[in-house]
Amino acid sequence: RTELESHMMKEERMLFPYVVTLEQSFKDGGSLPWSPFGTVKAPIAAMEAEHEDAGRLLAEMRALTDGYTLPADACNTFRALFHGLEQLENDMHLHVHLENHVLFPRAAELERQMAVHA
């Protein structure tokens, strides 16, 4: 949980605000905005590594629960737990997919285009 919160904080406080500024500057025909981390390559690489770690943990959780298979006599609390874990895994896969395959490539490409025209 702590690692997930730390990951989200880094995204929400550093990377995402820069990406929003980058997108707006690009739309306005402005210059490449300053960033505290140089280019987006380093924070993107760090986020992708954390995504891989989360994927391994989720795969381990799925394996430990035998694919979220409930025992025949599972109580409602147990059912809710397994349902929540499966939903967490699904949500995380979507989150990671959108960042790794949509947001991050877009940010890197915008930054590249703006640097070329600087």
Write out pLDDT tens, residues 79-92: 999 999 999 999 99
Q: What is the pLDDT of residue 117?
A: 80
Residue in the structure block whose two tokens are 């980058």: 22
Mean pLDDT of 2-6: 83
Q: What is the pLDDT of residue 93?
A: 95
pLDDT tens for residues 29-82? Answer: 999 999 989 999 999 999 999 999 999 999 999 999 999 999 999 999 999 999
How many CB atoms neighbour CB 99 within 10 A? 19
Task: Tell me the average pLDDT of the chain.
Answer: 94
Q: What percent of the chain has pLDDT over 90?
A: 84
Domain containing 110: what range?
Answer: 2-116
Contact by Cβ (8 Å): 4, 53: no
Distance from chain centroid for Cα 109: 18
Q: What is the pLDDT of residue 5?
A: 85
Domain count, the chain: 1
